[in-house]
Amino acid sequence: MNQISPLRSSALTLFCAVLAWYSAPIGAVAQTAGHGEPPVKAPFLKGEDSLCVNDWWNRPANPIIDLKVPRDQVVAFGLYTVANGILKLSAQLYPLYPSETREVRLEVERDGRWIELSRHPVNDLGWSTAFRIEKWDHSRDQKYRLRHGESAVFEGLIRKSPAAKDEIKLAALSCNSNRDRGLRPEYTRNLNHQDPDLVFFAGDQSYDHKEHTAAWLKFGLAFKEIIRRRPCVSIPDDHDIGQGNLWGENGKIATSTAGDSGGYFFHHDYIKMIERQQCANLPDPFDPTPVEQGIGVYYTSLNVGGVDFAILEDRKFKTGPLGRHPMKGPRPDHILDPNYDPAVIDTPGLQLLGERQLTFLADWGGRRQGVVMRAVLSQTGFSGSAHLHGTPTNRLHADLDSNGWPQSGRLAALKLIRQANAVHIAGDQHIATLVQHGIDRHRDGPWSFVVPAIDNSYYGRWWWPENEKPGANPVANSPLPWTGDYLDGFNNKISMHAYANPDAAFFESQKTRTANLGKPGWADGWGLIRFKKSTREVTFECWPRFSDVTQSGAKQFPGWPHTIRL
């Protein structure tokens, strides 16, 4: 075999390197060159957001998303709302190199020309920024674009107010599992065809607990063709902030990622980063006073065409269950004994929404100007509306992660929602349910639609009464066997009108779960809620993920649609 001399070898290596440099795309060259020191060092102590902080470009490839994008693609997406004449628009970027500008420009098109409205700095923690434009003309559609550097652009549309429309449509989604990391084209096709006036993501947009920025970018990549042309509300839940469950307890520090001690386990700047990324586009909060650790709040309201939406944080103030009740079990949030006394866990001093949000709900429910109908948006439902959790054999009598607990806090919230004559829309539960709550008796409270998971392969739940019998006053001619009046595991009164259980066989083992990824049967999908102002009717629709609403004959889950009158 012929040997190559060291000198010739070095020359050949240099030649190949130069050739690779000149033949590689410009973006690739920028990614391999030296970048210097990052201008901001993250304060995180537990590896939070490691893929996107400090010298992020030195991280190996990851399973979530390619972060080293061409530099004309660094503006990933934007989210916006318009309320009280104020446009709030957030811009999410991919990570930037130290030498790149930290400035984003907002432009709008007027009379065929692009006009710059504002410039804002990007935060190196999370790579986002937000614009607040007052005296916004909401009487017409306006194109906008977010720009970075010379060539990076994200373009969208600020829609005119839909006040003239009789029907306002809300699309509601939650629980974007990372077991299936696809780009969700079925949602883009279906939701753009249904053309909602507002899109609501109720939480768990990310399941990559310590890597929110990367997962949030992947979320945007999947849904940007839906959100670029309509207002969007996104609120974080437990998985977004890196915990299995969240009882925020006014912002205190939690002792573990289980969260049952109450509070937040990861660094407060990580929590603030996540809320900034997901919520900076929301209308100004009702009361902006931070909670403990300087963590902000975002509970607020948004009027879309005469339908006024209260946006709640039903985790931030809630008390954790650890040491707060006398029941003993494998976990402080799970009660297995069907013979326990529910009154013993509704101990004095427990918080659900907290006094601040109850004050907000009372104020919101009394507003009249410009309001025809109302709805409350939050992370999870106000009842324990599932029996089997995780697997078809794991029966829990009561799950304290739900807003069925504490019962006194649930009643306080439901009374204000009823007083406002509002419906409630939420996610989180990995099972779609349509319930009318009872306060003093069955069916005297507000309606609640908990929408299905975007991808339900992470964790399943089932509505499956142990006696397998319908409750009193079941829904006439329902295709579902177990509807009617029930008591949940906290003795809360609920009337079940519809539910969508996943295929139990999919959850038998890791093998069956993997084999069925991306197939119908998980009971994943989305909710569409129609508010008809002239009749004050609300129609709840529940669509399977792999349905095709562009085709005639597309079917909803059995038991839907369902129409009520407020």
pLDDT in tens, 43-95: 999 999 999 999 999 999 999 999 999 999 999 999 999 999 999 999 999 99
Q: Dihedral of the CA atoms 329, 523, 450, 350 (nearest 10)?
A: 10
Q: Which helix (H) or strand (E) holds 418?
A: helix 407-419
- In a domain? residue 3: no
Same domain, residue pair 539 and 458: yes
pLDDT at residue 91, rounded to an integer: 98
Same domain, residue pair 196 and 50: no
Q: Is the model's pLDDT at 3 over the cut of 50? A: no
Same domain, residue pair 140 and 217: no
SS3 sequence, 503-564?
CHHHHCCHHHHHHCCCCCCCCCEEEEEEEECCCCEEEEEEEECCCCCCCCCCCCCCCCCEEE
Same domain, residue pair 410 and 364: yes
Would you call the peptide bond into 231 cis, given omega within 30 degrees of 0 as the criterion?
A: no
**Which whole number is the average pLDDT over 401-410?**
98
Count of C-beta atoms within a 10 Å radius of residue 564: 14
Q: Is the model's pLDDT at 137 over the cut of 70? A: yes
Sign, CA torsion 336/341/347/350: positive
Q: Is the model's pLDDT at 518 over the cut of 90? A: no
Distance CA 228, CA 246 (A): 30
Q: Cβ contacts of residue 379 below 8 Å, gap of 6+?
A: 174, 202, 203, 235, 237, 312, 313, 314, 315, 426, 427, 428
**Cβ neighbourhood burial of 12 (10 Å; 0-12, 13-18, 19+):** exposed
Distance CA 188, CA 165 (A): 23
Buried b (16+ CB within 10 A) or exposed e, 355-378: ebbbebbeebbeeeeebbbbbbbb
pLDDT at residue 32, rounded to an integer: 40
- What domain range includes position 295? 167-565
pLDDT at residue 164, rounded to an integer: 98
Are the C-beta atoms of 448 and 424 separated by less than 8 Å? yes
Same domain, residue pair 420 and 480: yes
In degrees and rounded to multiples of 5, residue 195 shows phi and psi of 55, 65
Q: Given 137, 161, 185, which residue is the final one in a domain?
A: 161
Same domain, residue pair 389 and 422: yes
Same domain, residue pair 246 and 104: no
Same domain, residue pair 195 and 269: yes
pLDDT at residue 28, rounded to an integer: 38
Summarised one tens digit per residue, pLDDT across range 458-502 is 899 999 999 999 999 999 999 999 999 999 999 999 999 999 999
pLDDT at residue 34, rounded to an integer: 76
Please tell me the least confidently modeled range out of 32-36, 239-243, 283-287, 501-505.
Answer: 32-36
Q: Is the model's pLDDT at 21 over the cut of 80? A: no
- In a domain? residue 392: yes
pLDDT at residue 349, rounded to an integer: 95
Q: Of the candidates 178, 79, 174, which has an alpha carbon nearest to the alpha carbon of residue 129?
A: 79
pLDDT at residue 172, rounded to an integer: 98
pLDDT at residue 30, rounded to an integer: 41
Same domain, residue pair 340 and 423: yes
Summarised one tens digit per residue, pLDDT across range 156-175 is 999 999 999 999 999 999 99
Count of C-beta atoms within a 10 Å radius of residue 186: 18
434 strand-pairing partners: 449, 498
Would you call the peptide bond into 63 cis, given omega within 30 degrees of 0 as the criterion?
A: no
Are the C-beta atoms of 43 and 267 separated by less than 8 Å? yes
* Residue ranges in 149-302 assigned as alpha helix (H): 185-194, 212-227, 268-279
Helix and strand numbers, DSSP H then E, in the chain: 8, 26
CA distances (Å), origin 94, targets 75, 91, 532: 7, 10, 40
Q: Is the model's pLDDT at 136 over the cut of 80? A: yes
Q: Which helix (H) or strand (E) holds 309?
A: strand 307-311
Same domain, residue pair 177 and 134: no
- In a domain? residue 280: yes
In degrees and rounded to multiples of 5, residue 55 shows phi and psi of -85, 65
pLDDT at residue 509, rounded to an integer: 87
Residue with tokens 């829904």: 475
| 204's tokens | 């768990």
> What's the domain count of the chain?
2
Summarised one tens digit per residue, pLDDT across range 253-307 is 999 999 999 999 999 999 999 999 999 999 999 999 999 999 999 999 999 999 9
pLDDT at residue 233, rounded to an integer: 98
pLDDT at residue 239, rounded to an integer: 98
Same domain, residue pair 27 and 145: yes
Q: Given 134, 161, 188, which residue is the final one in a domain?
A: 161
**How long, in residues, is the chain?**
566
Residue 140 sits in a domain whose CATH number is: 2.60.40.380
- In a domain? residue 475: yes
Are the C-beta atoms of 289 and 516 separated by less than 8 Å? no
Residue 442 sits in a domain whose CATH number is: 3.60.21.70
- In a domain? residue 2: no
- Residue 541's pLDDT band (boundaries 50, 70, 90)? very high
- Residue 508's pLDDT band (boundaries 50, 70, 90)? confident
- In a domain? residue 317: yes
Same domain, residue pair 272 and 400: yes
Q: Work out whether strand 447-450 and strand 432-438 pair parallel, antiparallel, or are unpaired.
A: antiparallel
Q: Given 161, 176, 195, which residue is the final one in a domain?
A: 161
CA distances (Å), origin 536, targets 149, 167, 422, 424: 48, 10, 11, 15
pLDDT at residue 10, rounded to an integer: 35
**Which whole number is the average pLDDT over 441-457?**
97
- In a domain? residue 124: yes
Q: What is the mean pLDDT of the chain?
A: 93
Q: Is the model's pLDDT at 19 over the cut of 50? A: no
| Amino acid code (one letter) for 126 | G
| Amino acid code (one letter) for 143 | K
| Amino acid code (one letter) for 346 | D
Q: Cβ contacts of residue 41 below 8 Å, gap of 6+?
A: 54
- In a domain? residue 370: yes
Q: Which helix (H) or strand (E) holds 233?
A: strand 232-234
Exposure of 334 in the CB half-sphere (CA atoms within 13 A): 14
* Percentage of the chain modeled with pLDDT above 90: 91
